[in-house]
Amino acid sequence: MSLAAITRATLAKDLRLEWRSRDAINSMLFFALLVVVVFSFSFDPNAEESRQIAGGLVWVAFLFAAVVALNQTWARELRNQVLDAFRVSPAPANSLFLAKALGNFIFVCVLEALMTPLFVVFYKLRALGPAWQLIPVAVLGTWALVVNGTFFAAMSIRTRSREIMLPLLLFPISIPAILAMVNATTAILTGELSAWFWLVLLATYDVVFTIACLLLFETVLHAE
Amino acid sequence: MTFLYVAYAATWIIHITYLGTLVQRYKRLQREIEALQK
Amino acid sequence: MKRAFPIFAVLTALLLSYALYEALVAAPTEKTMGDVQRIFYYHVPSAWTAFLLFLINFVASVVYLIRRSHTADIVAVVTAEVGVVFCTVVLVTGPLWARPVWGIWWTWDVRLTSTLVLWLIYVSYLMLRRFSTSSQTPLLAAALAVFGALDVPLVYFSIWIFRTQHPQPVIGGGGSIDPRMLHILLLNWVAFLCFAALICWSRYRLERLRREVEETQALESLLEPRSLR
The C-alpha R_g of chain C, in whole angstroms, comes to: 21
For chain C, the domain total comes to 1
What is the rounded CA–CA span in Å between residue A62 and residue C87? 31
Residues of C in contact with B1 (CB under 8 A): 34-36, 100
Contact C134 A201 (CB under 8 A): no
Distance from CA of C23 to the nearest CA of B (A): 11
| Domain annotation covers residue C11 | no
Contact C128 A198 (CB under 8 A): no
| Domain annotation covers residue C126 | yes
What is the pTM for the complete model shown?
Answer: 0.90
pLDDT string in tens for chain C (229-residue length): 577 888 888 888 888 888 888 888 877 777 777 778 888 889 999 999 999 999 999 999 999 999 999 999 999 999 999 999 999 999 999 999 888 888 888 888 788 888 999 999 999 999 999 998 888 899 999 999 999 999 999 998 888 888 888 776 666 555 567 788 888 889 999 999 999 999 999 999 999 999 999 898 888 888 877 655 4
SS (H, E, C) C5-18: HHHHHHHHHHHHHH
Q: At A135, is the pLDDT very low, low, confident or very high (cuts 50, 70, 90)?
A: very high
Half-sphere exposure of C59 (CA within 13 A, CB side): 8
The answer to whether residue C110 neighbours chain A at the CB level (below 8 Å) is no
Report the residue of chain B nearest C202, measured CA to CA.
B22
Inter-residue contact C80 to C122 (CB < 8 Å): yes
Contact C96 B11 (CB under 8 A): no
Long-range contacts (CB closer than 8 Å, 24 or more residues apart) made by A193-196: A193/C165, A195/A129, A195/A133, A195/A137
What is the rounded CA–CA span in Å between residue C28 and residue A145? 49
The answer to whether residue B12 neighbours chain C at the CB level (below 8 Å) is no
Bridge partners, C34 (sequence order): C30
**pLDDT for the residue numbered A161:** 82
Nearest to A183 among C128, C139, C162 (CB): C162
Contact C217 B11 (CB under 8 A): no
For chain B, the domain total comes to 1
Q: How many CB pairs under 8 A join B and C?
A: 66
| Domain annotation covers residue C24 | no
- Give contacts of A 33-92 with C, CB under 8 A: none
Contact C136 A159 (CB under 8 A): no
Q: Which residue did the predictor score with more confidence, A95 or C170?
A: A95
**pLDDT for the residue numbered C28:** 78
Inter-residue contact A147 to A210 (CB < 8 Å): yes
The answer to whether residue C167 neighbours chain A at the CB level (below 8 Å) is no
Mutation target to probe the A interface, by most A beta carbons within 10 A, among C158, C162, C166 is C158
**Torsion of the alpha carbons at B17, B19, B25 and B26, rounded to the nearest 10:** -150
Domain that holds residue B14: 1-38
Contact B36 C36 (CB under 8 A): no
Q: Smallest Cα–Cα separation from C115: which of C10, C213, C35, C43?
A: C43
**pLDDT for the residue numbered C63:** 96
What is the rounded CA–CA span in Å between residue A127 and residue A132? 10
Contact present, B and A (at least 3 Cβ pairs less than 8 Å): no
Contact C100 B10 (CB under 8 A): no
Q: At A167, is the pLDDT very low, low, confident or very high (cuts 50, 70, 90)?
A: very high
Report the residue of chain A nearest C145, measured CA to CA.
A173
Chains that touch B (3 or more CB pairs under 8 A): C
Residues of C in contact with A158 (CB under 8 A): 132-134
Distance from CA of A19 to the nearest CA of C (A): 32
Domain that holds residue C89: 42-167+179-211
